[in-house]
Each structure stands twice: as C-alpha cells, then as structure tokens.
C-alpha cells in the first residue's frame, strides 16, 4: 500500500468539490497561517536556533517577518488579485467579453530546502493558498527542529482536508515525486532541482525552480573600500553565508551569526589559501588552487566592460547582480546603467547586498539557474493558471455570418482589414 495515496486522494477530493475556491476560504487559510507565525514565534525562534544557530534578530528578519509580510500583502490584495483581467479587443470582438481568469492549478507540491527552513516553504505557501490550491508541503529533513514544528503545529492552523505535511529524506521525496501533482515548487540546489524537474516530466507537470547560481560582485575602482567591505561582508556572512545570492562561511564566536557544521569536509578538497580553522564551526575560508568560479572570487575590481564579458559568456547567468549580474554592483550610477544594459541576471542590487529580497514587490527568480518567479503578487501569478476567456453572445448571428465560407471578395477584404489594420482596439 502506498502511504501517500490516501492523503493525496483526500486533497484532490477537497479541490474537486470546490472547497478552496472562494475568497473567504482563501482568506481564512491565510489568516490561519498568520496566527501560526504570531502565536508560535518563540517556538519557531528556538527551532531556527537549534537548526542553524540563528539569533533571535536574524530569525525574525530573515524568516518570520518576511513570511508575515507575505501573508499581510496577500490578505490586503486578495480580492484584487483574484479579479478577471480584461484585455484589449479587435473590431470582431468589440461586443464580446475578453479577459484572463486566474484559477488554481489543483494539487500543489512544495519541497523546501534547509538553508531558510521557514522562509522558503512558507513564502511560497502563501501564494499557493491565496490562489486556492490544495497543498502538500515537504520540509527539509536536514532542519529537524523546524521540520517538527511545521509537521506538528502548522496543520492545526489550516484546513487539513486541503493541506498536508509529508516528512522524509531523499528516498521519500523521490517517492513523492512519482505521484501526479498539478504544480511543483522547489527553491534549493541545482543538483536537487534537476531531480525535481525530471521526475514529473512524464506527467507534464509545470514546475518552478528557484536555484542557487554563481553570483559575481562588481566593485568599481572609485568606490570607498570600507563601505564596500562593510556591505559585502554583511551579506556574505548573513544566514551562515547560505543564501542563493551571497554564500560564504562564519566566524567562530559571533553570537549574531549562524552555524553550518557540515562544511568541514569541503575544506579538504584542495589547498586552503585563507582561513580554514575548523572545530565545531568553520572560519571564513578561501580554497585553492583551482580557478574560482564567479561567486567564489568575491568582489572583482575592474571596468564595467571587463566584467560584462564573463557575465555574458559561457558561465550560467547569475541569480543576482549584487552578486548577480553582479548581485552586487558597487559603482557609479553610469556604470550601473551600463551593467543593466549589457548583462543578464535574475535580480540586480546596486550598492547593497540582498536587501532587494525583503521587497515583496520585487520578484525572485533566475535566468539560467531557475524556472519561474515568486514573491508577493508574482507568487499569486505563479500558482495560478491564467485562462484566456472570450465570451460571445449567442445572438447577433448576422455579424458572425461574415466569418463563414464561401468567402466573397468583399468579405475577404473586410476580414483582412479588421485583422490587419485594426488588430486591437483600446478598451
């Protein structure tokens, strides 16, 4: 017996019955998620401290607050986001109703990574709930304390006929991916992303992948070195350096910085040029002698022209330019403009780290290192099927007779004129 079969059948039955479609139900689910965040703040902070040694401040700013902001934004705009979107019409359809309808996909699977074990699954969950989908959430087994809270506490705040948490490691995840879902969302590593996108291909299931890319950081010659050092060090050390747009390791003693204890083995793969001290935690380290990839090189000095070349060459396009086109562009406005016009990346941060990730109004998504986008309304759009709709009257048949053969010279000329010279009239 497949232990997942009953769970998935229950969720599909709830969706087929239309339980999740009303704006009232969606709002109730979002409010439940908001209460989960508010009423279990200390429990969540303790779980994040156990998993990643996150300080209360970092847990609040990088995980809990960002999730709450997404909930608040979705509740504030839910009715507006759900509205049909009218589109321009041509002369043939002036008496018809043409619009884009946003409808839920159905049964959605969200697979979460370990580096932001609360932020990444719950920010995407907001979008899935707001669009009226039923959801299976698979937390990371590597963040055991957070996984436990998500599995045992979160379902108490949501309708369990429409939401489920599935636990397990890689083997269980592969078994989960054997089932048919209507949409799959995964923010994590490219290695796992390849598995996630390949498994549902037999079902033609649409997938969003938000993966970690290589992120150069460009520092112009005339920047203030101390300012750049402060900002680059902050966003590279934040969250143990385990952010898709700013990875690095941590100093040993700071109570404000997290810990990743599985990195020790990586330091043995090559000569350590700088740092390398490791006990229970790892100091900031640079490995050698193999040529570093863009993100491993750290800040790069040079002209805008010299940096545009590697960013547009054979390497994958970066996730961020601050580190991506560079994720970080520390330079004059004219150089920023040059980089924006001559490079491509998922996001761009000028003269800062990854503060852009705190804005729900800006999308998060890659070019070569991902498929799709999310955050705020972009999450709502991602988890919605956009259905093109044209509703015509059953009467007015005389007007429609123009479309029917046999075509006269006059009707052909008129149809060509309508579809050619007047393709779309403004609404």
Catalytic residues: 210, 244
Q: Are 64 and 55 in contact (CB under 8 A)?
A: no
From residue 130, give the alpha-carbon distance in Å to each of 11, 18, 27, 28, 275. 16, 14, 7, 10, 46
373 sits in the region (left: phi over 0; alpha: psi -120 to 50; else beta) called beta
Three-state secondary structure of the chain: CCCCHHHHHHHHHHHHCCCCCCHHHHHHHHHHHHHHHHHCHHHHHHHHHHHHCCCHHHHHHHHHHHHHHHHHHHHHHHHHHHCCEECCECHHHCCCEEEEEEEECCEEEEECCCCCCCHHHHHHHHHHHHCCCEEEEECCCCCHHHHHHHHHCHHHHCCCCCEEECCCCHHHHHHHHCCCCCEEEEEECHHHHHHHHHHHHHHCCCEEEEECCCCCEEECCCCCHHHHHHHHHHHHHHHHHCCCCCCCCCCCCCCCCCCCCCCHHHHHCCEEEECCCECCCECCCEEECCCCCHHHHCEEECCHHHHHHHHCCCCCCCCEECECCCEEEECCHHHHHHHHHHCCCCEECECCCCHHHHCCCCCECCCCCEECCECCHHHHHHCEEEEEEEECCCCCHHHHHHHCCCCCHHHHHHHHHHHHCCCCECC
Instruction: Quote the CA–CA distance of 346 and 325 in Å, as a whole number.
Output: 8
């Amino acid at each position: 017996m497949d232990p997942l079969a009953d769970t998935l059948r229950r969720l599909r039955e709830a969706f087929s019955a239309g339980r999740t479609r009303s704006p009232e139900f969606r709002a109730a689910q979002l409010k439940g998620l908001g209460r989960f965040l508010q009423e279990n703040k200390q429990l969540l902070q303790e779980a994040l401290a156990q998993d990643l040694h996150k300080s209360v401040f970092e847990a609040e700013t990088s995980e809990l607050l960002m999730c709450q902001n997404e909930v608040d934004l979705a509740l504030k705009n839910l009715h507006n986001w759900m509205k049909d979107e009218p589109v321009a019409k041509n002369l043939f359809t002036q008496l018809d109703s043409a619009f884009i309808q946003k409808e839920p996909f159905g049964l959605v699977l969200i697979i979460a990574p370990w580096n932001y074990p609360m932020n990444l699954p719950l920010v995407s969950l907001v979008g899935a709930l707001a669009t009226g989908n039923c959801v299976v959430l698979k937390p990371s087994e590597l963040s055991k304390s957070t996984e436990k809270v998500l599995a045992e506490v979160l379902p108490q705040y949501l309708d369990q006929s429409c939401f489920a948490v599935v636990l397990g490691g890689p083997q269980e995840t592969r078994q989960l991916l054997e089932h048919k879902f209507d949409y799959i969302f995964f923010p994590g590593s490219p290695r796992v992303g390849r598995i996630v996108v390949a498994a549902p291909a037999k079902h033609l299931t649409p997938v969003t992948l938000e993966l970690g890319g290589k992120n150069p950081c460009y520092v112009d010659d005339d920047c203030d070195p101390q300012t750049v050092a402060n900002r680059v060090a902050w966003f590279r050390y934040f969250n143990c350096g385990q952010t898709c747009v700013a990875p690095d390791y941590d100093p040993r003693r700071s109570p404000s910085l997290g810990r990743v204890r599985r990195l020790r083995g990586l330091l043995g793969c090559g000569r350590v040029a700088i740092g390398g001290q490791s006990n229970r935690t790892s100091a900031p380290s640079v490995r050698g002698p193999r040529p570093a990839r863009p993100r491993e090189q750290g800040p790069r000095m040079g002209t805008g022209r010299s940096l545009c070349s590697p960013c547009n060459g054979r390497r994958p396009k970066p996730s961020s330019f601050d580190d991506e086109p560079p994720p970080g562009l520390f330079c004059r406005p004219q150089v920023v403009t040059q980089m924006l016009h001559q490079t491509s990346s998922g996001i761009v941060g000028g003269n800062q780290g990854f503060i852009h990730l705190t804005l729900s109004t800006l999308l998060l998504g890659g070019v070569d290192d991902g498929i799709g986008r999310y955050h705020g309304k972009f999450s709502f759009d991602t988890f919605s099927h956009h259905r093109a709709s044209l509703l015509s009257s059953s009467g007015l048949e005389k007007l429609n007779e123009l479309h029917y053969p046999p075509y006269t010279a006059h009707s052909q000329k008129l149809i060509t004129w309508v579809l050619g010279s007047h393709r779309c009239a403004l609404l």
